[in-house]
Amino acid sequence: MSGSNSSTSAGLVAAVDLGATSGRVMLGRIGPNTLDLRQVARFPNGPIQHDDGLHWDVTGLYANITAGLTAALRDEPSIRSIGVDSWAVDYGLLQDGKLLGEPFHYRDERNLAGVEAVHGVVPFEELYRINGLQFLPFNTLYQLTVDRVGGRLASGETPLLIPDLINYWLTGGLHTERTNASTTGLLNVTTQEWDAALTARLGLPESLFPALVDAGTTIGGLTRTVAETLGADKGVTVTTVGSHDTASAVVGVPARTDDFAYISCGTWGLVGVELERPVLSDASRLANFTNEGGVDGRTRYLHNVMGLWLLSESVRTWEAAGTTIELPALLAEAGRITTAVPVFDANDPRFLAPGDLPQRIADWCGEHGVAAPQTQAEFVRSILESLSQAFARAVDTAAELSGKTVSVIHMVGGGSQNALLCQLTANRSGREVIAGPVEATAIGNVLIQGRAQGLLSGSLESLRDLVARSFEQAHYLPR
């Protein structure tokens, strides 16, 4: 991926960007008028089934990360900084610096017991006033409560969110970056500090939680062992970025006005607006909107929509049954459908767990008295119509509850490559959709590192202007 022309004042950083289905190491060249991105390594990621449930292979993930960073440093020895972002809420437990087993996956069914235990102590209505988060059954506070009840939180253990765990292995330092901490449910939405009263009520010792740091903090150099493994010199540092991948993606939105909504569309569709302060009204809670921390103290006011997981898991189901799927051809066929297809509730919890999603979609249709899709192309069209409706409704609700005017929607991430989804979203929202860049998360990661390294300066607005100048976007007008 290329961006604007190189500048003599530009420098190099490496972005480790971890998604729920794949990870990548990106090399970023950045300066006041320079923003170039190049993929050095890409590797798969996904759940692994153990006897006790669904986990992440974070040890294997780290091996792929170090291999990617080694390749990046071999290509460009002058890399100044490394920054890590990933999905939210999941964590590894450390004891005496050692990982106690692979982290649980947020789609594991164990979390339901945590929901009941937490809400029995702190009702959700009160919880929302404290942390400002929408209800998601896998938020970190529910997972930690399951661990506490199950005796997995012994004295001296430390939970580290995935990017903080990677940073710990790179530097030996224990920190939690705020944008990701804001997704745990244990950060006070007003103070942006760990809420000691809440953790005490939940029986979670305050000593569990590492010190909080902001995005753009240089947390240290590589350990000697890591530096030798990567072939790095002692000048390479690790910098915190918006370590929740959506926080980095929002930095990478190429907005040139402030009247925008964003859809960071990948496995999940994160749909919302950027605000200066949280919205904690009853209407916001009932609409299940969340107030997550953004870079530079902004609030990411958004709603989680199931996202392209619906499509990827359907494709996986068909392929497991022996069908070879050519997704571009299938999307083209879906785009040619002129008859009505069912529009289902993309946020129905039945679609969260892995499994036969086409059958679950058909079941939803049967329960609601509508004809289910019959062909694979009809299922794909139904999924995209349903996602576009969920996106449009979330944008309308975000604007209404926050009072923010929304004239344009920026779609970034993998979903921005799906022309049919972008056009359907424009149609259903009645707003222009500007699609791209695909790698907005890695771009946001690189931008915050670059600013911390003194390679460029300015507000988020100036960083976004650089993105707009550096990468092409596609425009979709409502039809």
Q: Are 409 and 261 in contact (CB under 8 A)?
A: yes
Please state, in angstroms and as integers, the Cα–Cα distance from residue 183 to each residue in 105, 135, 192, following that order: 15, 11, 11
- Of the candidates 287, 180, 291, the one whose C-alpha atom is nearest the C-alpha of residue 242 is 180
As a whole number of angstroms, the distance between CA 300 and CA 43 comes to: 29
Please state, in angstroms and as integers, the Cα–Cα distance from residue 195 to each residue in 133, 163, 292, 350, 430, following that order: 14, 21, 15, 32, 41
What dihedral do alpha carbons 157, 162, 193, 173 form, nearest 10°? 70
Please state, in angstroms and as integers, the Cα–Cα distance from residue 280 to each residue in 133, 253, 366, following that order: 9, 25, 37
Strands (DSSP E) found in 68-198: 81-85, 91-95, 98-99, 157-161, 176-177
Q: Are 442 and 414 in contact (CB under 8 A)?
A: no
Q: Are 30 and 10 in contact (CB under 8 A)?
A: yes
Q: Are 455 and 9 in contact (CB under 8 A)?
A: yes
What are the b/e assignments for 167-195, b being 16+ CB within 10 Å? bbbbbbbbbbbbbbbbbbbbbbbeebebb
As a whole number of angstroms, the distance between CA 38 and CA 36 comes to: 7
Give me the amino acid identity at 140: T
Strands (DSSP E) found in 149-236: 157-161, 176-177, 212-213, 218-221
Does the active-site annotation cover 282? Answer: no
- Which pairing describes strands 260-265 and 408-412: parallel, antiparallel, or unpaired? parallel
Q: Are 265 and 308 in contact (CB under 8 A)?
A: yes
- Catalytic: which of 245, 259, 296, 348? 245
Strands (DSSP E) found in 359-448: 408-412, 432-435
Question: Which residues have a catalytic role annotated?
Answer: 245
